[in-house]
Amino acid sequence: MSCQYPTSSQQLELLDFARSVIPENFFQDAFLIASQHILPALEFLLDALLSKGLLPENIAIIGKCYSSSSVSIGNLRAKGIYVSDLSLSFDSYENYDDLYKSHVQKFFEGLSDLDFTPYQRIIILDDGGDLHLEANTFFADFSKLCGVEQTSRGYNRITRFQPSYPIIAVARAKAKLNLESPLVAKAVVTSLQNQCQHHATHPRNALVIGNSAIGSAIADELSNYYAVSKFDMMPERSDFDELHLKAIAAEIDLILGCTGENLLPLLERNDLLKHRAILASCSVSDVEFGGKQLRLWTKQTFNCHDTLSVANVSLLNTGFPINFSGGDKDSIPLSKLQLTIALLLLGVFQAAQYTEKSGNLIVPLEEKMQDLLIARYTNVKGVN
């Protein structure tokens, strides 16, 4: 059964445009291996690929516990798509990055009996870089491999090694960086406010750590509701230096991590864990607040969306990104999230056509297609 598209007033025009540039049956000889948020947006992306010839039995997906819906998993399996049972697995006493790495290894082990020789293209669609890292050791022949990387964290990881196949860096696409960041910021702040409603104290101010594209957009959105300060290890991006950060530690109500790195050393040396602050991750996985380090001080849980009280602080969503709160819907409306879906679809299409096998194999998303998509995005009703 295919995803049901929105009503005529909410047609996914950007996704329809991206589909229109792909020839019919283009993916009929392809195999897709994907790590993605298993939510309705993924269903729409896969439906677009299926409509262009990709067969459901030629798709294998692994999700992440904090951004996977059992409803969407059921929908995909009903279509004949393989979804790993490990997609919902979580243990608060484990660092999720380590746990997920082992999940990815087992996921690939489950594919080891497949004969990939009939396929013209093996496409690795990744969110975070784990699949790309594992694919570089799993496959012996890279001639048919191509990939897409969706996140900045994944992009940074794959630039540290020499990939053996071309990877389209959707993560660095200007359309994603410039247009998606405000959408994520709004989703983060909406989720934050919902979760803070159930908190004993009502925050008055917020500290955003990590003032990059996402951090800056979140700070702008937060400023509509709280007094906001920004701190970054790059002085030109920061409102103050680290010495001042320690001086105001007792006054901070909300701490939002937007770095994609472990902030615990910074928080500890500046006394930011000694006061009744609320900690919220706004990046990926559970890295912002040290993975399991804080969770080991609390009762073990297998629900990654719990709020944990750790000494003087409250850790929202067990340290996972708060815009993924455990529901069966995407945190961004599909009328807006179609931008990301369309970018990924175009990235997969570009990857499958790419023929260079040497030199720099981390490739930008085609500029012309981005410009066409941006022009359509600004004219689509309901995206502003």
Query: Are the C-beta atoms of 280 and 317 separated by less than 8 Å?
Result: yes
Average pLDDT, the chain: 92
Query: Are the C-beta atoms of 38 and 364 separated by less than 8 Å?
Result: no
Instruction: Name the burial class of residue 70, with classes exposed (0-12), middle (13-18) and buried (19+) by CB atoms within 10 angstroms of its CB.
Output: exposed
Q: What is the mean pLDDT of residues 249-255?
A: 92
pLDDT confidence of residue 384: 55
Q: What is the mean pLDDT of residues 352-374?
A: 89
- DSSP, res 6: P
pLDDT confidence of residue 383: 56
- Which tokens go with 216? 């800056």
Model confidence pLDDT, tens digit, residues 180-223: 989 999 999 999 998 887 777 788 999 999 998 899 999 999 99
Model confidence pLDDT, tens digit, residues 289-305: 999 999 999 999 999 99
CA distance 361 to 162: 8
Instruction: Report the Cα 356 to chain-centroid distance in Å.
Output: 27
Query: Are the C-beta atoms of 329 and 40 separated by less than 8 Å?
Result: yes
| Residue range 181-319 in CATH 3.40.50.1360 | no
pLDDT confidence of residue 358: 67
- The residue type found at 181 is S
Per-residue pLDDT band for 1 (boundaries 50, 70, 90) equals very low
Model confidence pLDDT, tens digit, residues 304-349: 999 999 888 999 999 999 999 888 999 999 989 999 999 999 999 9
SS3 195: helix
Strand order in the sheet with 145-149: 82-83, 59-62, 30-35, 121-126, 145-149, 167-169, 362-364
pLDDT at 267 over 80: yes
pLDDT confidence of residue 4: 45
- Which tokens go with 357? 């096998």
Model confidence pLDDT, tens digit, residues 238-250: 999 999 999 998 8
CA distance 297 to 22: 52
- Residue, of 355 and 351, whose pLDDT is higher: 351
pLDDT confidence of residue 36: 97
- Show me where the domains of the chain are located: 8-176+329-379, 181-319
Dihedral (Cα; 57, 105, 168, 51), 10-degree rounding: 10
Query: Are the C-beta atoms of 147 and 123 separated by less than 8 Å?
Result: yes
- Which tokens go with 353? 């056509």
What length does the chain have? 384
pLDDT at 10 over 70: no
> Which CATH superfamily, name and number, covers 8-176+329-379?
Adenosylhomocysteinase-like (3.40.50.1480)
- Which tokens go with 207? 């500290």
Model confidence pLDDT, tens digit, residues 68-97: 999 999 999 999 999 999 999 999 999 999
SS3 346: helix
